[in-house]
Amino acid sequence: MSALQELLAPVRRATGLAMGVAAIGAVAEIVPFVAIGELARVILEPGDPDRGRLLGVAAVVLVALGVRALCTSAAIMITHYADVRLQSVLRRRIVLRLGRVRLGWFTENASADVGKAAQNDIQTMHYLVAHQKVETVTGIVVPLTGFGYLLWISWPAALLALVPIVLYLLSFAFMTRDMAVKMKQMDDSLAAVNAAAVEFVRGIAVVKTFGRGGRSHQAYETATKDYARFFAGWVRPMLRLESLSGIALSAPFVLTLTLGGGLLFVDRGWMEPVELLVASMIGVVIPASITPLLHGMQGRQQAAAAAERVAALLRTEPLPEPAEPQTPDGHLVEIKGMSFGYGSAEEHQALQGVNLNLPPGTVTALVGPSGSGKSTLAALLLRFHDVTEGEIRIGGVDIRQIAPKDLYRTVGFVLQDVALLHGTVAGNIALGEERPSRERIEAAAKAAQIHDRIMELPRGYDSVIGEDALLSGGEAQRVSIARVILHDTPVVILDEATAHADPESEAAVQQSLSALAAGRTVLVIAHRLDTVRSADQIVVLREGVVQQTGRHEELVQTPGLYADLWRASHEEAGVTS
């Protein structure tokens, strides 16, 4: 089963019903023209027309038109309801799937790609579900019904009606001979344009500062020119051919062909004038019914490609969960023989043979040069990834044997990049808690030294982040810290929590961190050594290997990496001061 068929399974019955209703409407579309032909026969008969037959034919026309309108509306309504249901089902499946993947997956995959699949790609499938099925039925049933009727009354008339279709199909087949390849090239070109635009926007501050505006957008300009050149080279010849082929389906051409050829056939006695009238009308209707079907080919291809991306997102491997979860006994954190690599090759090893104990009620600081593995070690404690070798235990239980929901009730974290959602300040602090009281929320905010700032906002705790609650980096950090305080997790990981704090709020952030660390097992990732001088133990990492372990007083007096880092940091401070 293809990805598209799998995704459309929840609405298969609904779309099948809509296609059946649309088929009835498509047959009804031909009936009025048949009735008009019968009406012409009645009028052309010698003598006075039979009024009863005239009224009967008129009634058939009205009923057919009503059935056509009713069936078309009903089919479209059914498919649109099906589309709404499918979008709901797919978005729910995506949320449930992404809620089970390892957190490290989100750092490896761009949020824009996830958003595109969850929003744009599902919306792209709208045409496929809400319109394409009905258009396909109409585009097949109307020509077959019309052609079948013409073949029944006069085979020359049927052949005349077929000529424009054959001419257009031949030209259309020529135009779309490399459509899949060209669409792939267009997607790649657009991706290059988007990537160049994002790169330029991200670096615009540096670009303006160093006055390289003219050169900096060169990659973007080159990408857009390449895309324009490709698109023009592909589309220009097709537009010429499409203009010519479109004439084959135009009403003037069809009528000229049908009436011109039909008059010749009438003159030779191959068809009757009434049959020519019916053939001319049906000959115009058939091209009009297949045109949307042919023009919708690109929409169908885009929807199929979107379905593949959505299906790939739904196939994302979830975080393995234990069959029989275990509950930690205490909050001692033990890291035994832990190694981790982002790939199979040795050069991708981020941590090697790490052994650490984090006793309850103590603060352990991780320090080391950039790229030494500090953030990776913290991420492993949170199961952003699973270790390659060794194990991490909390309360005597391997964290892989702890249910994820229980793990995150045990381990809280404040990362460098603060994640505040669009919602109230109170909602952001209470994220993950079930209906906490306002008193608890305010108590957590006070402990995090952010209560007074919140009360200055237009609506206090009910102010909305990004609207009437515009917070600085340090203030956002304190909201994040208040969240962890409210959750009251016994193990806390702090990844340079003062990294985005402005100088004025850094002291407040430090006070809130002190309140957070009280009585908990704390792991701090630090880049500024002054902030962890009082840690119970300091672990020095270099290239994923533990180089030294001890207190500040011991390490600073011992020749080694920590003493070098301490001396370098203070020499730098002396220079800059």
Any idea where the domains of the chain sit in the sequence? 1-153+298-319, 155-271, 333-576
Residue 346 confidence (pLDDT): 47
Residue 106 confidence (pLDDT): 66
**Is a pLDDT exceeding 90 seen at residue 77?**
yes
Best-predicted range by mean pLDDT among 117-126, 169-178, 290-299, 489-498? 489-498
Measured CA to CA in angstroms, residue 530 lies from 365, 370, 549, 565 at distances of 11, 17, 17, 11
For residues 516 and 116, give the distance between their C-alpha atoms in angstroms, rounded to a whole number: 38
**Other Cβ atoms closer than 10 A to 129:** 24
**pLDDT tens per residue across span 360-411:** 888 898 998 888 888 889 888 888 888 889 999 999 999 999 988 888 888 9
Question: Which residues fall within 8 angstroms of residue 192, CB to CB, at 6 or more apart?
Answer: 223, 226, 227
**Is a pLDDT exceeding 90 seen at residue 415?**
no
**Is a pLDDT exceeding 90 seen at residue 282?**
no
Q: What is the DSSP string of 477-516?
A: HHHHHHHHHHHT-SEEEEESTTTT--HHHHHHHHHHHHHH
Separation of CA 204 from chain center: 26
Report the pLDDT averaged over residues 278-297. 77
Residue 349 confidence (pLDDT): 78
**333 burial level (CB within 10 Å; 0-12, 13-18, 19+):** buried
pLDDT band for 572, please (50, 70, 90 cuts): low
**Is a pLDDT exceeding 50 seen at residue 575?**
no
Higher pLDDT among residues 87 and 172, named by residue? 87
> What whole-number percentage of the chain has pLDDT above 70?
77
> What whole-number percentage of the chain has pLDDT above 90?
16
Higher pLDDT among residues 69 and 224, named by residue? 69
Which class in CATH covers the domain with range 1-153+298-319?
mainly alpha
**Is a pLDDT exceeding 50 seen at residue 477?**
yes
pLDDT band for 473, please (50, 70, 90 cuts): confident
One of 3.50.50.60, 3.40.50.300, 3.90.420.10, 3.30.465.10 is the CATH number of 333-576, namely 3.40.50.300
Residue 14 confidence (pLDDT): 92
Residue 205 confidence (pLDDT): 52
For residues 346 and 340, give the distance between their C-alpha atoms in angstroms, rounded to a whole number: 10
For residues 84 and 102, give the distance between their C-alpha atoms in angstroms, rounded to a whole number: 29
Nearest to 272, CA basis, from 145, 150, 146, 148: 150
**Other Cβ atoms closer than 10 A to 340:** 22
Residue 478 confidence (pLDDT): 85
Q: How confident is the prediction for the chain on average, in pLDDT?
A: 79
Higher pLDDT among residues 246 and 205, named by residue? 246
- Residue 221 gets the label, from left (phi > 0), alpha (psi -120 to 50) or beta, of alpha
Residue 455 confidence (pLDDT): 93
Match 């068929």 to its residue by tokens: 5
Report the pLDDT averaged over residues 260-278. 79
**pLDDT tens per residue across span 108-129:** 665 555 666 666 777 778 888 8
CATH code for residues 155-271 = 1.20.1560.10
Residue 50 confidence (pLDDT): 72
Higher pLDDT among residues 84 and 314, named by residue? 84
Domains 155-271 and 333-576 equal at CATH topology level: no
**pLDDT tens per residue across span 294-350:** 666 667 777 777 777 788 788 878 778 888 889 988 889 999 999 988 765 445 678
Report the pLDDT averaged over residues 349-358. 89
